[in-house]
Chain A
Amino acid sequence: MSGGLGNLIKTLQIDTRLLGMIGAFIVISLVFHVATGGTFLTPRNLFTLTLQTASVAVMATGMVFVIVTRNIDLSIGSLLGIIGMLMGVIQVQILPDIVGFGNPSIWIITVIIGLLLGAAIGGFQGWLIGYLTIPSFIVTLGGLLIWRGGAWWVSKGTTISPLDPTFIKLGGASGTIGVTASWALAIVGSILTILFLINTRRKHISHDFAVKPLWAEYALGAILVGAICGVTAIMNAYLVPTRILERRFAADGLEMPEGYTEAYGFPISVLIVLAVAIAMSIIAKKTRFGRYVFAMGGNPDAAELSGINTRWLTVKVFALMGALTAIAAVIASARLGSAGSSLGELDELRVIAAAVIGGTALAGGVGTIYGAILGALIMQALVSGMGMVGVDSPLQNMIVGGVLILAVWIDIVYRRKTGDA
C-alpha cells in the first residue's frame, strides 16, 4: 500500500482485511449496478439483499467458532430444515389447539422450543465430537443425512403453511420497524459507538498505553456514525409499494389519503442479525468462553494444560451453533411464510463459504464475526446479482465455487505477506 494511505489506515487502526472485504463488496455491487442498468444499488434491492442474507449470516457467526476450534459443522442446513419443520408443526398444528388460534404467545413459545431444540441437538453432536472423540466431519455428515431425513419424516414431504402471522414478521418484508424507529435506533447506535470509543481511549490512557491521535479518533467516530446513518437512510428510502398500502387501508375499512407514502425501515430479521453479531463479537473478544475457543484453536494441548476443559468447550460451541441455526430457521421459514422439508438445503456450504471468505482459517485459531457476516453479504450479492443479470443457475454455482477458491487463495497470500500465518 502506498505511503500516505497506508499510514492513514495504520493510524486509524483499521483492519486491512475488513477494508479489503468492503472493497470487494463495493466492486461487486458496482459491476452488477452497471450490468443491470442501474437496478442493483437501489434501496429496494439492498433491502432485499439484507433479507436474503440474514439467515446465512446468523449461522456464519456460529460457524466461525466451530471452525476456529478446528471443527466443521456440515449438519446445519439439515438442522435448519428439521427445526423449521418442527416449529411449523408446533405453531400451525399443535399450539392453536392448546392456546387458541392467533394467540400472541404462539410465536414466543415456538421460538423458545426451536432454540432449545437447536441447542440440544447441537450440544449432542458436540458431545459425540468432544467426549466420544468422533471427528466432527463424520458426526455432522451423519447429522446432515439424519436431520434432513427427519424433516421429511415429520412432514411426509408436505409444506406447512401459513405460519403464524406474528412469527412471519421475524423474517420477511412484512416485519419492519418503520422510519421513526429506524432513526431512533441509528441515534442510539451512534451514541453507544461514540461512548465505546471514548471509554476505550480513557482505559488506555489510565494504563499509560499508546493511544491514537485525537483526530484519528474523531475520524473513526465519524466513519462509524456515517456508516450507521447511511445504512439507516437506505432502509428508510425503500417505500412500501402503493398497492400494499391500499390493501392495508382497505383491510381497516379506510380510504388511503392521496399522496400517502410509507417506508419500510429496518427489517426485524436484519436487527436480529445485528443483535447476534454484537453478542457474538462480545462473546468472542470479551468473555472467557470466547477466549478459550480461540486458545483451543491455536493450540489444543496448551489450552488443556492451562486447565481448560476442551471437551466441554466443544459441546458448548456446537450447542451455540445449534441455537444460532434455530434462529436462522426462524428467519428462513418466516421469510417464506411456510416450512417445507427442503428448507435450508445446501445452507451448510453457503455458511462455511461465508465464514471462510470472511477470513476464518480452516486450520483453526483465526476468524472474526464481522468477517463472516461480510462474507455472507458478498456471497449473497454475487448470487442475487447474477440472478438479476440472468446468469443460469448452474453457471451461478460454478462462479460462486470459483470465487470461494479465489478468496481463500487471496487470503493465503495476504497472510503470508503480513506474516499473520
Chain B
Amino acid sequence: MSTPLLEMRNISIHFGGIKAVDDVSIDVMPGEVVGLLGHNGAGKSTLIKILSGAYKKDAGEIFVDGKKVEINSPIDAREHNIETIYQTLALSDNLDAASNLFLGREITTKFGLVDDTAMEAESRKIMARLNPNFQRFSEPVRSLSGGQRQSVAIARAVYFNARILIMDEPTAALGVHETAMVADLIKELKAQGLGIFLISHDTREMMDLCDRVSVMKNGQLIGTERVEDVTEDDILSMIIMGKNPKKAA
C-alpha cells in the first residue's frame, strides 16, 4: 500500500479531566474521502481541530506524505496545505467576500498595502467556478444567504491549493440544491487528487460520498471501514453501540 497523504497516529487530547480524543489514528490517501462519524461530543470536531492547528494535541504524531510534521497553529496547518471549512464557517461577518477569502493571506501591493482590487478580481475568478450565481462581492458577508456564505468558506479553502481538505458539516445549513452543489464539488476535488476528511451526521450522504468511514464514540475510535464492506445499519450500530459488528462477528 502506498503512503497516506496524511496520517494522524495515536492522537490524544484532554480538557481538564476529560479525554476528548483518546489514542485515535486516522489517515487519508490522495483522491480519497474519509468520513468521520459519531454523536455530538464523540470527538470528531476536536480531532480535526488538532489537524487544522486550532488545538494542540497532548500526544500522538501527524505525518504528511509519510514525513512527520508539527502543527501548532492554523498557520502551520496552512503551510502543509491543510485547509479547513469549519461548521461555523469562521467568517468575519462585517467584511466582504474577498476580505474573508484572503483573511490572513492578503495580496499586497509593492508598498505593502492590501490590494483590494486584486483580491476581488481573484475572488471573482474562483467564484465563477464554484458558484457562478455569486455576485455580491462588495457587501459584508453578513447580508449573504447561507449558501452564499458557504461558497465563500469553500472558496477560501480551495483557492490556496489545498492538498488536504477538512469539511466539518459542510451541508448542515444548506438547502437541497446547494447540498447537491457541495456534493458535486467534493467529487470534483477528489478527482483532482485531494484528500478530504468529511464530518457529517447524515449517514446516507456519507455512504454516498466517502470511500471509508471512521466512527468515533466518547473520544475513542470504534473502527474504520470501507463503505462497500458495511451497511448503513452496521455504521449506525457502531455510532450508537460503540461496537464494530464486523469485528464482533
Q: Is B130 an interface residue (CB 8 A)?
A: no
Q: Are A287 and B99 in contact (CB under 8 A)?
A: no
Q: Are B54 and A291 in contact (CB under 8 A)?
A: no
A window 397-421: CB within 8 A of B: 419-421
Q: Which chain B residue lies CB-closest to A289?
A: B114
Question: Residues 61-79 of chain B: 1 if any A CB is under 8 Å from the residue's CB, otherwise 0?
Answer: 0000000000001110010
Q: Is B232 an interface residue (CB 8 A)?
A: no
Interface size class of B (residues with CB under 8 A): 20 to 34
CB distance from A187 to the nearest CB of B (A): 24
B103 CB contact (under 8 Å) in A297, A302, A366: A302
A window 283-303: CB within 8 A of B: 286-288, 291-292, 294-299, 301-303
Instruction: Give the complex CA separation of A366 and B93 in angstroms.
Output: 10
Q: Is B108 an interface residue (CB 8 A)?
A: yes
CB distance from A306 to the nearest CB of B (A): 4
Q: Are A295 and B143 in contact (CB under 8 A)?
A: no
Question: Residues 100-127 of chain B: 1 if any A CB is under 8 Å from the residue's CB, otherwise 0?
Answer: 1001101010001110011011000000
Residues of B within 8 A of A286 (CB): 113-114
Instruction: Give the complex CA separation of A298 and B73 in angstroms.
Output: 21
Instruction: Give the complex CA separation of A287 and B112 in angstroms.
Output: 7
Q: Is A307 an interface residue (CB 8 A)?
A: yes
Residues of A within 8 A of B140 (CB): 420
State whether A282 and B113 are in contact (beta carbons under 8 Å apart), knowing that A305-B54, A305-B84, A419-B143 are contacts in the complex: yes
Residues of B within 8 A of A221 (CB): none
Taking each of A294, A301, A302, A308, which has the highest tally of chain B beta carbons within 10 Å of its own beta carbon?
A302
Task: Count how many pairs of residues, one from A and one from B, have CB atoms less than 8 Å apart in the complex.
Answer: 82
B92 CB contact (under 8 Å) in A207, A209, A288, A298: A298
Residues of B within 8 A of A204 (CB): 117
Q: Which chain A residue lies CB-closest to B92?
A: A298
Q: Are B95 and A305 in contact (CB under 8 A)?
A: no
CB distance from A407 to the nearest CB of B (A): 20
Interface size class of A (residues with CB under 8 A): 20 to 34
Q: Is B192 an interface residue (CB 8 A)?
A: no
CB distance from B134 to the nearest CB of A (A): 15
Q: Are B121 and A207 in contact (CB under 8 A)?
A: yes
Q: Which chain B residue lies CB-closest to A203?
A: B117
Q: Which chain B residue lies CB-closest to A309?
A: B73
Q: Are A299 and B91 in contact (CB under 8 A)?
A: yes
Q: Are B143 and A299 in contact (CB under 8 A)?
A: no
Q: Are B92 and A307 in contact (CB under 8 A)?
A: no
Name B residues whose Cβ lies closer than 8 Å to a Cβ of A.
52-54, 73-75, 78, 84, 86, 88-95, 99-100, 103-104, 106, 108, 112-114, 117-118, 120-121, 140, 142-143
Known: A286-B113, A294-B92, A307-B73. 11 other contacts (CB 8 A): A288-B108, A294-B95, A295-B92, A297-B94, A299-B90, A304-B74, A305-B52, A306-B104, A307-B75, A365-B94, A420-B143
27 contacts between A and B (CB under 8 A): A206-B117, A207-B118, A209-B120, A286-B113, A287-B112, A288-B108, A291-B95, A291-B106, A292-B104, A294-B94, A294-B95, A295-B95, A296-B92, A297-B92, A298-B92, A298-B94, A299-B93, A301-B90, A302-B89, A303-B92, A305-B52, A306-B74, A307-B53, A307-B74, A365-B93, A420-B143, A421-B142
Which 7 pairs, one residue from A and one from B, show the smallest C-beta to C-beta distance?
A298-B92, A298-B94, A306-B104, A365-B94, A302-B90, A307-B75, A286-B113
